[in-house]
Amino acid sequence: MRTPRAPIALAITLAMSGPAAAAAPTAARDLAANCANCHGTNGRSPSDMPRLAGVEKARIVQLMKEFRDGKRPATIMHQIAKGYTDPQIELLAEYFAAQKP
């Protein structure tokens, strides 16, 4: 069963503004946990997989959208990226950019 994207996007948007801003770090960590299987905890890859920690936010956004939109070839990322909305990609990118490599 697929989860509708609109409620998730709305929740993230609300989390990014006003009094709910404190919830944003938790939402970002929850989203980033999905990336840990391949890219390591907090984006610090222990293998040949590209690290995400410390990568510039704009670069992560660009790559994720290219994967999602089929403009960048991949073995699996193009399918994973299709599950993320623009606000989620922004949140992930901000989270990983803030991590120490």
CATH of the domain at 44: 1.10.760.10
For the record, the structure tokens of 19 come out as 């009094």
pTM: 0.74
Q: What is the DSSP letter of 16?
A: T
Task: Quick: pLDDT tens for 53-92.
Answer: 999 999 999 999 999 999 999 999 999 999 999 999 999 9
Give yes or no for a contact between 18 and 68, defined as CB atoms under 8 angstroms apart: no
Q: In the prediction, which pLDDT does 26 show?
A: 85
Cα–Cα distances (Å) from 36 to 11, 16, 27, in that order, read 22, 23, 15
Q: How many domains does the chain have?
A: 1
Domain with 79, as residue range(s), is 5-98
